[in-house]
Amino acid sequence: MEQIIDKYRGDSTAMIAILHDLNAAFRYLPREALEIVSDRLSVPLSYLYSAATFYRSFDLEPCGEHEIQVCLGTACHVRGSERILDALSRRLGIKPGETTADGKFTLKRVNCLGACALGPLVSIDQKHHGHLTIHQAERLLEAYKDEHD
Amino acid sequence: MQTVTLTINQQEVSGHPEMTILELARESGIIIPTLCHHASLNPIGACRICLVENEVNGALLASCVTPIASGMIINTESSRVLEHRKMILKLMLASHPDSCLVCDKGNRCQLRQMAAELGIGSSELDRIPQTAVTEEVNPFLIRDMSKCILCARCIRACQELVIEGALDYYGRGFKAKPATLFKSPLENSECTFCGTCVALCPTGALMEKEEFYRGTIGTVVESTCPYCGCGCSISLEVKENRVARVKPAAEDTGPGTLCVKGSYGCDFIHSPDRLTRPLVKENGSFKEVSWDEALAVTADAFSRIKDKHGSDSLAVFGSANCTNEENYLLQRFARGVLGTNNIDNGSSLYYAAARQAFYDSVGFPGITYTLNDLTGTDLILVVGAEPAASAPLINYEIKRAVKLHGAKLILIDPRKTKLTLFADCWLRPEVDTDLMLLNSLAKVIIDENLVDREFIARKTENYQELLDSLATFSLETAAEVTGVSLEQIRLAAGLYATAGKAAIIFGTGIMQQLQGTENVKALLNLALLTGNIWRKGGGLRALLRECNAQGACDMGMLPDFLPGYYPVEDLPARKKFETHWQANLPSKPGLNALEMMQMAGEGKIKGLLITGENPVAGFPGSALVEEALASLDFLVVQDLFLTETARLAQVVLPAASFAEKEGTFTNLEGRVQKIRKAIEPLAESRPDWKIILQLAAAMNQPLPFNSLEQVQKELEELVPLYKYDWEEKSPKEEDYWETMAEHRLPLKRFPRFSPVEYLPPLKAPDTQYPFILLAESALFHSGSGSRSSKSGRLSRFSASYFLQMNKIDADMMKLQPGDRVKIVSPVGELPAVVEHSESLPRGLVSLPRSRSDYPVALLFSSPPETSASSSALQRCYVRIERSCSDEPEK
């Protein structure tokens, strides 16, 4: 925590970068962490909260071990990524934005991952899997499940 | 200055370069519709309703945020502008619920007004209404976010005007809403329910709860808030002889803001507990009688006591909540008709110390004030005050000065107050060692040669005496006694002395000490040393608890001063009043309020008239006060309610509230402000000024007034302080003091330095009572709580019985939050519920001074004889016992 803030030398303009690092370290932004950042950067807590709710890449609830991001940017959308999201959602038994009860997976819809040529695109733990069909996406999910069982 | 010339609607106009198109258009009389824009908030261009077209390049610009540029050809109502403006509004309406018919905002809704103006009926857009009603348990306001248009007025009000920061945007896009941190309900947030956001919300998204009437109201009466000494301007919205709503009135001095008391606490006016008819006690119980009978009984009793025991067996205790005119009449009645100087008002309990200090140092007991607000100051020193509770408007001003205008802030307080977050330097002295600390600041300023030599030489007296008194002063000892480090003392002294314009704000925390007078003198020394006493943006201000504390004193509601602070012993001044009043006036100072109670107990005061005060609930040693008042031959009380004090009276006269009469209040800056009659007096109640006139007439010594104007005329004639219309003729900064001294004040000399010495407590604290209890002002209450506890909303929301204590202290006593305890002082005991507090150091506990039926004052003893002129204390020694029984709390 202190390390992350110190890395940016307590610079309030690095607020977003700090929040990113914290989100990665804790897999969400705990309230206590936000309070410490607010105190160290002299930025109002409400302002941090406002930013944390504005950007999709921040979480205010703890995330699962694996973060699945389904891209719903325009390119992926027209290639049917909505149906991939639905399929994964059914498989996992959770809605987008939720985490499975065992804490393994968090399913998210994101607006654009910036790799439109690869669409439809699913990113698991920051690793991109492009040109997916529904079937492939489901197999990919199973692979992650098995790998860790 | 550079000007920019452009064309708006074919009209050539020019302005200065920082102006926006909207500002210049408005100045030129061109109307551009707006929704998110508000004069007292920073423009953000959120709603885009104020679109205009620049015909040079066809750009559509949000006029509220676009600066003017030369050569622009602006059209505010081109067909493109109108088309876009309509579409923007249609889009807003498409996500807005269809509930106009049942929406409480009704015709006051600016969205609806705008739709009507632009001629938008049903639209072709598909509707996507939102659902979002936030459940709140607070009784003040309700949030319905489905009606929110994201104008961010509430957010800006919270962040820019009251600097609370309870609200900010949450989420983005269609889901964005103003929300509190973690979307918690308002009551769990920083929100103080000041009502500023509600007053500014253009739609039905933020609404007041529990109004008796929800429609549009035609009659609006401008008046002044009757609670604390800030004297905020309020607008009373009146319907069918009832005050339906209270809104902050726009002021020239700044944006209209109120606190929870002003916005939601005025419903005491229509409390069912209001007195409606005069009461006379017969065989121990009250009987309703006619006014004539009640006045006759009173007049008869006063005449009888005066004849039998002399004038000085009578006393009058007036109210700092009554108007200037009423106070003037009341003291004239006491001095001229009853013939006694036994006169005082409710603010004496804490204010007397400061008045004495000012009289000794400056030669004038009225607090000095400067004409402008705090915005222009460079540094603010806040001593022994929690303005967030006791003077919210000053709290906003301090925060705005610090946050928006870069002023420095020094705090001196053992408690961590809500201002601590904003402070550059927080000195945390041990309780009651403030004087030592203030002297050490003076010592540093002198030693480091930071004084304003020229000012001292030209405008002050007694400097050498101050130097002598501090010659042997040891900073090391000071640091040891106060517990504040030398570095911090040096830092604070340096900041204060080198700031430039430095204002001092002090509160009851410093006045209500044994050395209260000396404390204020030490503050005056600091101001004199640095030339800050009459400087614009400098000076000293006391935070006054009542709306007219300043005015009541100015009007001579004091045992030792005639109106305008002419001492009663001053023969020429007295002669002037005697000639005017055609009466012989007593020449010896009378009894102050605390002495009155004491003498009543000793049987030397036989008859007492109390207007609008509740000493049984507010005075230290309540039990003794109650006994003393009960032993009087005759007590008459004028009040809105049958208070604890009124119950002891032989005659109770129902008074009219501030909304039912005319007059003026003087706020803590010395600004004289009007209150205006909004509704007829409730039932048979009468304004206090009428009651006093009728009482004088009933005693066959009528006062020569038929109307308030006549009173005001005499008052202006006899009190030069009030002759001066300072709004119109504000003197220049440099000759402010001269103007004041020449025309308004009975002044004969320059301000004088006062050497003051810290005295350690006489006796060691009693080990039986290990804690020091502070009685603190509560945001949701005022004074002894007679009115605020009759406000349904205020009294329901605020709990009065929580004892704040440091967590370590609580842990050592194995007390958990929520545990019931008994607070025992040498003179009384009170049940309470424990609450942990981060703001108190160990050894200190605090209770809010709140409801009249939970009188914290009963724990306090009367002040010792040695400080007759000084104030009642705000602290006492107590012990805390775990309560065994499960008796229900009040």
SS3 B348: helix
B113 domain-assigned: no
* Structural domains in chain A, sorted by start: 2-54 (no CATH), 66-148 (3.40.30.10)
Contact yes or no for A50 and B166 at CB 8 A: no
Chain A with chain B: Cβ pairs closer than 8 A: 26
- Whichever domain contains B16, its CATH number is 3.10.20.740
The size of chain B, in residues, is 890
Residue B411 belongs to a domain with what CATH number? 3.40.228.10
Collect all residues of chain A within an 8 Å Cβ-Cβ radius of residue B182.
31, 49, 60
CATH code (residue B163): 3.30.70.20
Q: What are the chain A neighbours of B169 within 8 Å (beta carbons)?
A: 50, 53-54
B166 vs A contacts (CB less than 8 Å): 46
Q: Which residues pair with B506 in a beta bridge?
A: B383, B542
Residue B750 lies in a domain: no
Nearest residue on chain B to A47, alpha-carbon basis: B168
Q: What interface predicted TM-score (ipTM) does this complex get?
A: 0.77
Same domain, B579 and B460: no
Angle ∠(B332,B335,B339) on CA atoms, nearest 5: 145
The reply to whether B357 and B483 lie within a common domain is yes
Q: How far is B327 from A93, CA to CA, in rounded Å?
A: 75
Long-range contacts of A12-16 (CB under 8 A, 24+ apart): A12/A41, A12/A42, A12/A43, A15/A41, A15/A43, A15/A48, A15/A51, A16/A51, A16/A55
Q: Which residue among B165, B167, B171 sits closest to A53, beta carbon to beta carbon? A: B171
Check whether residue B31 and residue B13 sit in a common domain.
yes
Select the residue of A31, A49, A60 nearest B168 (Cβ to Cβ). A49
Q: Testing the interface with A: which of B163, B170, B183, B402 to mutate, by most A Cβ within 10 A?
A: B170
B542 close to B507: Cβ distance less than 8 angstroms: yes
DSSP letter, residue B511: H
A142/chain B closest Cα distance in angstroms: 33
Q: How many CB atoms lie within 10 A of CB A118?
A: 19
Do B689 and B831 share a domain, yes or no?
no
Q: Is residue B117 part of a domain?
A: no
Give chain B's domain count.
5
Q: Is residue B757 part of a domain?
A: no
Looking at the domain assignment, is residue B104 inside a domain? Answer: no
**Residue B463 covered by a domain:** yes
Give average pLDDT by consecutive 10-residue segment, chain B, 890 residues. Answer: 90 94 95 92 94 95 95 95 95 89 86 92 82 75 91 93 90 86 86 93 89 77 92 91 88 72 93 95 94 96 96 95 95 96 91 89 73 79 93 92 93 92 93 94 96 91 94 94 96 95 92 89 95 81 90 93 91 93 93 91 95 89 89 96 95 96 90 91 95 96 93 88 56 55 67 91 77 87 83 81 90 91 89 90 88 82 55 79 61
Q: Residue A60: closest CA among chain B residues belongs to which residue? A: B182
Token readout for B318 is: 């007036």
User: Which range of residues forms the domain containing residue B384?
Assistant: 351-542
Closest CA to B862 of B826, B830, B887: B826
User: Which of B542, B577, B605 corresponds to the end of one domain?
Assistant: B542
Q: Are residues B728 and B580 in the same domain?
A: yes
Q: What is the model's pLDDT at position B884?
A: 67
Q: Say if the Cβ atoms of B180 and A46 lie within 8 Å.
A: yes
- B149 and B234 fall within a common domain: yes
Chain A residues with at least one Cβ partner in B under 8 Å: 31, 44-47, 49-50, 53-54, 60
User: Considering CB atoms only, which of A31, A44, A53 is closest to B170?
Assistant: A53
For residue B378 the two structure tokens come to 């460079």
My answer on whether B316 and B216 are in the same domain is no
Q: What is the CATH number of the domain that holds B659?
A: 3.40.50.740
- Closest residue in chain B to residue A35, using alpha carbons only: B181
What are the residues whose beta carbons fall under 8 Å from the beta carbon of B827, sequence distance 6 or more? Answer: B621, B623, B624, B858, B859, B860, B861
* Chain B residues touching chain A at CB-CB below 8 Å: 165-172, 180-182
Q: Name which of A49, A54, A60 is nearest B172 (Cβ-Cβ).
A: A54
Distance from CA of B268 to the nearest CA of A (A): 35
Which pair of structure tokens corresponds to residue B325? 């005119």
The separation between CA B77 and the C-alpha centre of its own chain, rounded to angstroms, equals 46
Chain B residues whose CB is inside 8 A of the A47 CB are: 168
Q: What share of chain A is helix, strand, coil (3-state, %, to 5)?
A: 50, 15, 35
Which residues of chain A lie closer than 8 angstroms to B160, CB-CB? Answer: none
Cis upstream peptide for B17 (omega within 30°)? no
Identity of residue B856: V
Shared domain for B873 and B725, answered yes or no, is no
Check A54 against B169: CB less than 8 A apart.
yes
Residues B865, B777 share a domain: yes
User: Is the residue at B93 inside a domain?
Assistant: no
Residues sharing a CB contact under 8 Å with residue B15, sequence separation 6 or more, in sequence order: B3, B4, B23, B24, B27, B68
Q: Mean pLDDT over residues A52-58, rounded?
A: 87
Q: What pLDDT sits at residue B726?
A: 45
The Cα–Cα gap between B852 and B618 comes to 8
Q: Which residues of B touch A46 (CB under 8 A)?
A: 165-168, 180-181
Are the Cβ atoms of B165 and A46 closer than 8 angstroms? yes
Which of A42, A46, A48 would you mutate first to test chain B, the one with the most B CBs within 10 A?
A46
Question: Would you call A46 and B172 a contact, using CB atoms and an 8 Å cutoff?
Answer: no
Helix (H) or strand (E) holding B822: strand B820-824
Which of B205, B239, B270 marks a domain boundary?
Answer: B270
Searching chain A, which residue's CA lies closest to the CA of residue B181? A46
The CA distance from B539 to B740, in Å, is 14
Q: Which residue from A minimizes the CA distance to B175? A: A54
Residues B355 and B343 in one domain: no
- Bridging pattern class, strands B73-75 and B51-54: antiparallel
- Structural contact between residues B888 and B836, judged by C-beta atoms closer than 8 angstroms: no
Judge if B567 and B673 occupy the same domain: yes
**B621 shares a domain with B710:** yes
Is residue B107 situated within a structural domain?
A: no
Alpha helices in B98-210 (DSSP H): 110-117, 153-156, 196-200
- Residue A45 is nearest to which of B167, B169, B181, comparing CB atoms? B181
Mutate to test the interface with B, among A31, A34, A50, A60 (most CBs of B within 10 A): A50
